[in-house]
Amino acid sequence: MSANNATAGTAGSGFHDFEHLTNQARQAAAGLTQGFGDALRQLQAMQIAPEAWSQLQSDYLQQAGRLWNTAIAESHEHGAHAAPAPLKDRRFADASWNDNRLAHFTAQLYLLNARTLQQMAEQVQGDEKSRARVRFAVQQFIDAASPSNFLALNPEAQQRALSTQGESIARGVQLLIADAQRGHVSQTDETAFEVGRNVATTAGDVVFENEFFQLLEYKPLTAKVHARPLLMVPPCINKYYILDLQPENSLIRYAVAQGHRTFVVSWRNPDASCVHWTWDDYIGQAAIKAIEVAREITGADTINTLGFCVGGTILSTALAVLAARGEHPAASVTLLTTLIDFSSNGVLDLFVDEPSVRLREVTIGAQANGGPGLLHGQELATTFSFLRPNDLVWNYVVGNYLKGDAPPAFDLLYWNGDATHLPGPMYCWYLRHTYLQNDLKVPGRLTVCGESVDLGAIKAPVYIYGSREDHIVPWDAAYRSTQVFSGKKRFVLGASGHIAGVINPPEKKKRSHWIGKGAALPADSQQWLTTAAEHPGSWWPDWSQWLAGHAGPLKAAPRAPGNREHRAVEPAPGRYVKQRA
């Protein structure tokens, strides 16, 4: 017998009498209810007003009574085969949750308990940040406690085990062991992709490199190109190829096809030799250096620039440093889902306060007693996944381990799992001076690369994009950048989230975007939204038209990448992006 067959046989025999799980499920449901009861008592201890607590108790007992009476009535009055009302939550969408009376009741009880805990969290007294933390923690508990996450309570997974004679359980165990070795829950088939083979495939060359980054120049797709090149600065907390996943959804390829001579920063994935790197290094040795090299290669006095997420924060800081030196190399600035004013930043604010930042500083920052260290990429990836746990964690726990379904191949999720480290000193500086103290937007408060930083000194026009459902950079936080820069500004709001809103090629004809009427950009984002007009499809053509107005005349495309001083080092995507965390 093969190893796989042996494993399957063992699992199949172990679950031969799988029907007895119904009785086990009753006990597990009682344990789940007790767990919710413990959470209720802990929340009560967090100072909920007595009258609010009494009302919540009364409402809960009434709803629980109705739920129980309905379950009894459906069972006795309408017969054993009467279908209960279907559950609307997508975690319980499979027919087995309706067919199995106990599972249906357990799911209904869970949803009632979840609503009650959420209502209690809303009633907790205290400052807004503390209350938000309570709400977040309660939601994490609620999502983790769903009966769909447990084999003994999930009828769909139980039926799968029975119909496959335990094979699904054996596959689930194998997937669990493989993920334990990887150190994370798999969201896609990671063997289906390879950087440079079927992701990050737009043709180009590395034309410069130092220890911090490689600069990629892409092969023109048009006979003529605009006189001013375009430099893209992606986030350093991810790999750059989110901008170049596949030819049909590549923003890089789109820019090249629009006649822009395009350069992209590909960040090095830091290792133990890079633990001393600082924010100043990322600005001076990377962003400013990339601007210098792009100008040297093309001979252009000014260039168009684009920053995505943290890349936009880095780019803006670099341009402010250059402005303080009397240099204005940017003909335009595009900021995609970028934070400049960190006044309020949604759920990420919950993780940042003085004690948490101080802890980082003394463990991995420049002040660390044992020397600086790295923020490991998997820690960042896990944090971002738990901002949407049902979609990015528990969905895969159920599918992979309980049902034994290997996750399908998906380029975006492959990129999402391709983690990058961050040097401790750089990360700690960024946390303190942006999320914690919101220093960047205040003229003269920060000194970077020896210069006093004033973003208002950047003279270039700015195109600012935000995504309406973005949970990492809320769109109103992205909009606040309109109040910081002093040049001409254009704000565009796209549908969907942090990634899907940005990576939205026109050919797909998906989603929509909003453009304000006239040039007015009031301080209140909601005021802007009330007058903005919705347009179907991608925001890319609007940006392309805006960018063309700053790109200069057309001239013959270069025949070769780089120049005499900066010759091609290797083909794109280069070595740096292939370094795994």
* Residue found by looking up tokens 């490991």 in the block: 376
Q: Where are the alpha helices (DSSP H) in 19-95?
A: 21-44, 50-76
Amino acid at 477: A
Amino acid at 234: P
Q: What is the dihedral of CA 161, 166, 170, 176, to 10 degrees?
A: 30
Query: Which two structure tokens, joined as six digits, stand for 352?
Result: 């940042």
* Active-site residue, selected from the candidate residues 236, 274, 309, 449: 309
The answer to whether the CB of 525 falls within 8 A of the CB of 475 is: yes
Amino acid at 281: D
The answer to whether the CB of 493 falls within 8 A of the CB of 239 is: no
Within 13 A of 5's CA, how many CA atoms are on the CB side? 2
Beta-ladder partners of 491: 464
The answer to whether the CB of 459 falls within 8 A of the CB of 323 is: yes
Q: How many CB atoms lie within 10 A of CB 264?
A: 30
Within 13 A of 471's CA, how many CA atoms are on the CB side? 9
Task: Report the distance separating Cα 252 and Cα 245, nearest Å.
Answer: 9
Q: How many CB atoms lie within 10 A of CB 80?
A: 8
309 is known as an active-site residue: yes
* Residue found by looking up tokens 């950009």 in the block: 521
Task: Report the distance separating Cα 551 and Cα 500, nearest Å.
Answer: 27
Amino acid at 444: G
The answer to whether the CB of 376 falls within 8 A of the CB of 508 is: no
Q: Which helix (H) or strand (E) holds 452?
A: strand 451-452
Task: Report the distance separating Cα 12 and Cα 1, nearest Å.
Answer: 14
Nearest CA among 266, 210, 202 for reference residue 234: 266
Task: Report the distance separating Cα 34 and Cα 420, nearest Å.
Answer: 40
Contacts of 109 (CB under 8 A, 6+ apart): 29, 33, 64, 67
Task: Report the distance separating Cα 304 and Cα 329, nearest Å.
Answer: 9
Pairing of strands 462-467, 489-494: parallel
DSSP letter assigned to residue 199:
B
The beta-strand segments (E) located in 184-229 are 204-209, 213-218, 224-226
Task: Report the distance separating Cα 566 and Cα 77, nearest Å.
Answer: 82
* Residue found by looking up tokens 């379904």 in the block: 405
Burial group, residue 259, by CB count within 10 angstroms (0-12, 13-18, 19+): buried
Q: How many CB atoms lie within 10 A of CB 332?
A: 22
Amino acid at 91: R
Residues classed as catalytic:
309
